[in-house]
Amino acid sequence: MGRAVLENHYQYSYLAVIDGSQVIYEALDPGLISYETAIENVDIAVTSAGWPCGDAAWILVDDINYSKNRRGLNFVFVDKQTGEVVDSVTVDTYVDCNVVLKEQRRD
C-alpha cells in the first residue's frame, strides 16, 4: 500500500500481517478489519478499529493480546520459530510519529 495511501485515509482502520518480507494480508477500510492466520504453528488474530469504528487495536498471539492499543500504528514482532513475542511497539502517526517501545529489563 504505502504511505501515500495511508495519508489520504485519516482515521481509517489498517491491518497488515507480514512474514519476513512477504505480506500475508493487508487491508485499509473505514470500518472494522479482522484477520486470523497461523504462521509456523503460531496463531495470530488481528483486529483494527479506526477512530470512527472503535479506536482500538488487538493483536493476539496464541490467544494473548500483545497490542499496546494506542493511537497510531500498533506492531507486535514474533519469533515464528519459538512463538515468543519479541517486541510490541506503537508509532503515533497523529502527533509526531513517536515510537513507544516495550519497557527494557534491568538486570
Residues lower than pLDDT 70 in the chain: 1-4, 96-107
Confidence (pLDDT) at 100: 58
Confidence (pLDDT) at 102: 57
pTM, two decimal places: 0.81
- Beta strands 73-78 and 64-65: pairing type? unpaired
Instruction: Please tell me the distance from the alpha carbon of residue 104 to that of residue 53, in angstroms, as a whole number.
Output: 33
Confidence (pLDDT) at 105: 45
